[in-house]
């Protein structure tokens, strides 16, 4: 049986379509099956609850990320294993959230979901890259808005090279080896 | 020793200056001393974190209250004793939050902090009523914006008649008698 003893925050960052939400859901299900308390804050869903009306300008994106960070910290400092999946393209705001989280003695685990842009454009599951490339969507991360990859993420996932099972096991191993979740004999 | 077994949400509503924040802080301190997990979401503080830029129109106030409700539910369903202090003048949105909270099997305790407007105008600790009455502040609840008192709140506090110790003990007794916090022999 796996249990966790204190709250923590796993923050998935990466381009649209790289696999953040899928991986976050798998991790959430996995933690949920094995531990008491876990919450998934998915960027799109949280946006409708916390940030309706905000645009995709840098300023508004930063506000959105700060709000997600605020809620995530409140949960994590109360012992919840919090998972965030949000493009969160700007390094400075991610680092701001990291510092605020660590200041409350909550472990912050940045998980970079990495996939080359040409692979994403080719996949284009939602057809968003096509619309961004044609100029129909503006401020689209990776096409006409910047993405600043983490310099030194705790976890680096390559969804173009690994199966989702492998990616998930890399994350679980990180959490176990850092004693955020534990293997306990029944 | 007093402990609580599951999360719940105490929602303080009432006019500006009625004593919501003071009472909420006392309750928070009191729960914090005796239980593991409690969070206070104070309207003014939460506004700066979640709702910067929103006005005091009905529409924007409703959005603000929904956001507070969203965060409060996330916390409470994870076993946190959540205290909200917010004017929350509109009955329909308070009831919406109540229903959503109860739908997650989280107890919702509406605590009406009641004080007659003439007493508040006389007290006017922050000088806000004077400014609202002169027209300097618009959309000020109780003066030039409505306050809809709860029809049937779980707790009804009268801060013009009771000392703050009495008000606090009324709340603690409610929580104890509803087994949200328990007296446990050491």
**In a domain? residue A47:** yes
Write out chain B residues lying below 8 Å of A40, CB-based: none
Among B39, B18, B20, smallest CA distance to B28 is for B39
Decide if pLDDT at B37 tops 70: yes
The tally of domains found in chain B comes to 1
Find the residue in B nearest to A37 (Cα).
B78
**Residue B181 burial (10 A CB sphere; 0-12, 13-18, 19+):** buried
**pTM for the predicted model, two decimal places:** 0.91
**In a domain? residue A157:** yes
**In a domain? residue A124:** no
Q: Among residues A16, A21, A88, A167, which one is catalytic?
A: A88
Mutate to test the interface with A, among B50, B70, B82, B96 (most CBs of A within 10 A): B50
Residues 6+ away with beta carbon under 8 Å from A75: A7, A39, A82, B74, B75, B78
Q: Find residue B58's DSSP bridge partners.
A: none
Write out chain B residues lying below 8 Å of A67, CB-based: 49-50
Distance from CA of B127 to the nearest CA of A (A): 31
**In a domain? residue A165:** yes
A49 vs B67: CB contact, 8 Å cut-off?
yes
Whole-Å CA distances, A59 to A40, A141, B71: 24, 14, 23
A167 is catalytic: no
pLDDT tens-digit map of A133-182: 999 999 999 999 999 999 999 999 999 999 999 999 999 999 999 989 87
Q: Which residues of A touch B (CB under 8 A)?
A: 37, 39, 49-50, 52, 63, 66-67, 70-71, 74-75, 78-80
Which range of residues forms the domain containing residue B46? 2-183
Tell me B153's DSSP state. Answer: -
**Which three-class secondary structure state does DSSP give residue B83?**
strand
pLDDT tens-digit map of B87-136: 999 999 999 999 999 999 999 999 999 999 999 999 999 999 999 999 99
What CATH number is given to the structural domain containing B30?
3.40.50.300
pLDDT at B101: 97
Among B91, B99, B82, B88, smallest CA distance to B63 is for B88
The pair phi, psi for residue A156, each rounded to 5°, is -125, 110
Among A24, A30, A34, A26, smallest CA distance to A4 is for A34
């Amino acid at each position: 049986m796996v249990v966790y003893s204190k709250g923590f925050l796993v923050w998935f960052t990466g381009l649209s379509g790289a696999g953040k939400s899928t991986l976050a859901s798998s991790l959430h299900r996995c933690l949920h099956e094995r531990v008491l308390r876990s919450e998934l804050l998915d960027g799109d869903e949280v946006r409708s609850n916390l940030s309706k009306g905000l645009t995709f300008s840098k300023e508004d994106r930063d506000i959105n990320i700060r709000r997600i960070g605020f809620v995530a910290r409140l949960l994590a400092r109360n012992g919840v294993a919090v998972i965030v999946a949000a493009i969160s393209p700007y390094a400075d705001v991610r680092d701001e959230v990291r510092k605020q989280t660590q200041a409350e003695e909550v472990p912050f685990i940045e998980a970079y979901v990495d996939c080359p842009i040409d692979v994403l454009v080719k996949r284009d599951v939602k057809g968003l890259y096509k619309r961004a490339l044609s100029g129909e969507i503006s401020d689209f991360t990776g096409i006409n808005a910047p993405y600043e990859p983490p310099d030194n993420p705790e976890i680096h996932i390559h969804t173009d090279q690994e199966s989702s099972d492998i990616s998930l096991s890399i994350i679980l191993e990180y959490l176990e080896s850092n004693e955020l979740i534990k293997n306990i004999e029944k």
